A and B are shown apart, each in its own frame.
Chain A
């Protein structure tokens, strides 16, 4: 995922030797130091100066809040203390104990939301990847309408999330929506108009909307990956008599594996953390069956104004994501090194 961790031959000459050495070890004798330090220091300090703004912002907006969030999760941070958090009493592990006590109402609903999110993520990532791969593979080569199709496919991804999701929520309306119009009036598949945005169907509605919005991302990246495969490979295998399926199985899919590794991981993290789709689709609060974990934490934090409990849930979510990511990276890199 990191674009370049191996040194490139073209990289600035002479910089490599400085990597390990400490700046103090260079230059001996006062006269030489005076002559050397300004230039050397400037050269040594320059990369740090260049990344300084990025570091400061990452610290301020990501790392500091994360630490504050962990600290908050150990506080009894209820609505009385929001404006003056220094007065909030410590809670020890109470926030965590409530969150994982699955007999309590808080714990039970968190567990249910977690289960829904896992099911949703597996299905959504699978579908997005499948559609993206199918489209990327079939868009190989040139044919009429290719450019138009590519633009069309990418449009939902370019659309602001809320604009696309609002449209779906209109289409899923029970009485005036397009989906029921097709299912009931035009095809007669169903006799009665089902509700899509409440009850069990809301999971399906959420899944369809999400896949519509996000599969173009998989397509975009996989298409870039497919374009990067050298034509020589296909030509050589064609001379050896390999057919289309054989080429797909032996060239295209194996060559896409590094791209797939990134795409699936990114899709997993996005999907698991998705907030926009349920928030806009259901108008603020999601029905139980489509209560993804981010919106669940948001709801339980801003409805009860119990930020301590919300922070504890967020920390648990982070730990889970770290665990899955670590296992995933170890598993995929082991498979790669074995192959």
Chain B
């Protein structure tokens, strides 16, 4: 593309401002996490006067962060694996078969994505509480309840992305596998899944991130023993004081796994979006 002479300037001004806008909070988060408590209660300073790694040691004692971390890890991993497994089968059916109800299924699944979470929250809360009362299945406050809820949040997007991925894999490949004696499921497992691995990994990361960051249901559906990070971080603010340095350190620690995963896989995510959304 031919570029006019002013374009590099415009590019650096616009992208530079956006970069600054993006960067400043990240900088504040990082620098605040290494300040002693006294330095975060008074005036703000761009450059830390005293550097202290104490907040990173304190965060584990102020609140049971490790416990919340494990809870989040269990819930998010289980939700991600379950969601992607279910999505792979559904997406394979949609991509490879023409069957009555296929269109209705796709539209229904996608449209649940648009419903407000608050709409499900009150009924699900009621259902979970009353299931516990009547048949003794305690979903309220349990990890299972949270896992099942979270996996449905990422399911529509996962199916949608994977259909795009599977469509881009030539059907000749699975037909060849079927000629070799595999059934349709064998073709899915032995040919399609390996070929779609980047997409599957990207979708898994997405599902994990969704569950890791969820606040609304976590704030209502968990109790002290199953509390996840999204809610647990509130523990750093007491009635009198907010431990901002520890809060920033904890935010940093809980962000590292998902940000690292996301950035490593952003290329696949873009590819998946290109395949699924734009086509």
List residues of chain A with CB under 8 Å of any chain B CB: 1-5, 7-8, 10-12, 15-16, 18-20, 44, 46-48, 50-51, 53-55, 57-58, 60-66, 68-69, 72, 77, 82-85, 131, 134-135, 138-141, 143, 149-164, 166-168, 170-171, 173, 175-178, 180-181, 185, 212, 216, 220-221, 223-225, 227-228, 231, 234, 238, 243-244, 247, 258-259, 262, 269, 272-273, 275-276, 279-280, 283, 294, 297-298, 301-302, 307, 310-311, 314-315, 317-318, 321, 325
Contact between chains at B25 and A228 (CB < 8 Å): no
Contact of B90 among A53, A77, A227, A243 (CB under 8 A): A53
Contact between chains at B277 and A221 (CB < 8 Å): yes
- Determine how close the nearest CB of chain B comes to the CB of A246; give it in whole angstroms: 11
Contact between chains at B93 and A259 (CB < 8 Å): no
Contact between chains at B263 and A155 (CB < 8 Å): yes
Q: Which residue of B lies closest to A228 (CB)?
A: B278
B110 within 8 A of partner (CB): yes
Interchain CA distance A157-B26 in the complex, whole Å: 12
Q: Which residue of A lies closest to B7 (CB)?
A: A244
Interface positions of B from 206 to 236, Cβ below 8 Å from A? 209, 212-213, 215-216, 219-220, 229-230, 233-234
Contact of A82 among B22, B126, B266 (CB under 8 A): B126
Residues of chain B within 8 A of A310, CB atoms compared = 122
- Determine how close the nearest CB of chain A comes to the CB of B2; give it in whole angstroms: 5
Residues of chain B within 8 A of A66, CB atoms compared = 115, 119-120, 123
- A-B contacts, 29 of them at CB < 8 A, read A50-B89, A58-B109, A58-B112, A63-B112, A83-B130, A134-B14, A138-B15, A150-B266, A156-B25, A158-B258, A158-B259, A158-B262, A160-B229, A163-B255, A166-B247, A167-B25, A167-B26, A176-B40, A181-B43, A212-B22, A220-B266, A228-B278, A244-B2, A276-B216, A294-B116, A298-B121, A298-B216, A307-B125, A318-B116
Interface positions of B from 88 to 109, Cβ below 8 Å from A? 89-90, 92-103, 105-109
Contact between chains at A276 and B215 (CB < 8 Å): yes
Contact between chains at A72 and B123 (CB < 8 Å): yes
Contact between chains at B25 and A65 (CB < 8 Å): no
B133 within 8 A of partner (CB): yes
Q: Which residue of B lies closest to A170 (CB)?
A: B244
B34 within 8 A of partner (CB): no
Contact between chains at B3 and A141 (CB < 8 Å): yes
- Determine how close the nearest CB of chain A comes to the CB of B100; give it in whole angstroms: 6
Q: Which residue of B lies closest to A307 (CB)?
A: B122
Interchain CA distance A135-B46 in the complex, whole Å: 27
Contact between chains at A170 and B28 (CB < 8 Å): yes
Contact between chains at B130 and A85 (CB < 8 Å): yes
Residues of chain B within 8 A of A160, CB atoms compared = 209, 212-213, 229-230, 254-255, 258
Contact between chains at B119 and A178 (CB < 8 Å): no
B151 within 8 A of partner (CB): yes
Interchain CA distance A226-B163 in the complex, whole Å: 21
Contact between chains at B133 and A84 (CB < 8 Å): yes
Residues of chain B within 8 A of A163, CB atoms compared = 29, 251-252, 254-255
Residues of chain B within 8 A of A325, CB atoms compared = 114
Q: Which residue of A lies closest to B44 (CB)?
A: A181
Residues of chain A within 8 A of B237, CB atoms compared = 283
Contact between chains at B279 and A4 (CB < 8 Å): yes
Contact of A65 among B93, B123, B212, B266 (CB under 8 A): B123
Q: Which residue of A lies closest to B169 (CB)?
A: A10
Interchain CA distance A176-B97 in the complex, whole Å: 60
Interface of A is mostly: helix
**Could you count the A-B residue pairs with CB atoms below 8 Å apart for me: how many are there?**
326
Contact between chains at B167 and A262 (CB < 8 Å): no
Q: A5-B106, A151-B263, A170-B32 are in contact. Are A238 and B10 (CB under 8 A)?
A: no
- Determine how close the nearest CB of chain B comes to the CB of A267; give it in whole angstroms: 12
Residues of chain A within 8 A of B89, CB atoms compared = 50-51, 53-54
Contact between chains at B90 and A68 (CB < 8 Å): no
- Determine how close the nearest CB of chain B comes to the CB of A252; give it in whole angstroms: 10
A2-B107, A152-B23, A166-B247 given; 7 more Cβ-contact pairs under 8 Å: A19-B100, A160-B254, A176-B244, A212-B25, A238-B2, A276-B213, A302-B220
Interchain CA distance A40-B170 in the complex, whole Å: 24
Q: A143-B11, A162-B230, A170-B28 are in contact. Are A68 and B103 (CB under 8 A)?
A: no
Q: A82-B129, A167-B29, A276-B216 are in contact. Are A11 and B96 (CB under 8 A)?
A: yes
Q: Which residue of A lies closest to B8 (CB)?
A: A143
Interchain CA distance A22-B253 in the complex, whole Å: 57
Contact between chains at A62 and B115 (CB < 8 Å): yes
A-binding segment of B55-63, B152-160, B195-203: B152-160
Q: Which residue of B lies closest to A238 (CB)?
A: B2
Contact of B1 among A53, A63, A234, A317 (CB under 8 A): A234
Interchain CA distance A259-B279 in the complex, whole Å: 9
Q: Which residue of A lies closest to B220 (CB)?
A: A302
Interchain CA distance A339-B40 in the complex, whole Å: 57
B75 within 8 A of partner (CB): no
Tell me which of A160, A173, A272, A317 has the highest count of chain B C-beta atoms within 10 A of its own C-beta.
Answer: A160
Contact of B270 among A3, A15, A220, A259 (CB under 8 A): A220
Contact between chains at A318 and B219 (CB < 8 Å): no
Contact between chains at A279 and B215 (CB < 8 Å): yes
Residues of chain A within 8 A of B87, CB atoms compared = 54
Residues of chain A within 8 A of B86, CB atoms compared = 53-54, 57
Residues of chain B within 8 A of A153, CB atoms compared = 18-19, 22
Residues of chain A within 8 A of B114, CB atoms compared = 269, 321, 325
